[in-house]
Amino acid sequence: MTTLITRHRVRDFDIWRAVFAGHQDNRRAHGATGHRIYRIGDDVTVLTEFPDRASAENFLADPALRETIARAGFIGTPDTRICELADDEDYRTLPTAEAEPVGHQTVPQSGATLIS
């Protein structure tokens, strides 16, 4: 799994959110499978999940994204990073001290998945 992390400031969160919601079909067309939005005031961080790096890169290169940024009221240039999943653990499924670990997944650089 690949995550596109985008951090930026916005003039008005509600306007930005409406424009972001209107761009969902474009994200899906590039293979996005979901997103999470975090915010502190006008500082917004979006984590968008893609199946692979190429899908995230193609989304970033799409001219429609620049048009959306212009309408959304960004302040300055967004900071973007594309990250590959290295480890995933769900704390809701953590075992007791004497049980075997459950719900933990380590993803080696090769892309193979090991479940312990």
Distance separating alpha carbons of residues 63 and 109, to the nearest angstrom? 31
Long-range contacts formed by 84-91: CB under 8 A, 24+ apart: 84/1, 84/2, 84/53, 85/1, 85/2, 85/3
Predicted confidence (pLDDT) per residue in 4-28, tens digit: 999 999 999 999 999 999 999 999 9
**pTM of the entire structure?**
0.77
Predicted confidence (pLDDT) per residue in 39-94, tens digit: 999 999 999 999 999 999 999 999 999 899 989 999 999 999 999 999 988 888 77
Distance separating alpha carbons of residues 39 and 45, to the nearest angstrom? 6
Q: For residue 51, what pLDDT is reported?
A: 97
Q: How confident is the model at residue 107 (pLDDT cuts 50, 70, 90)?
A: low
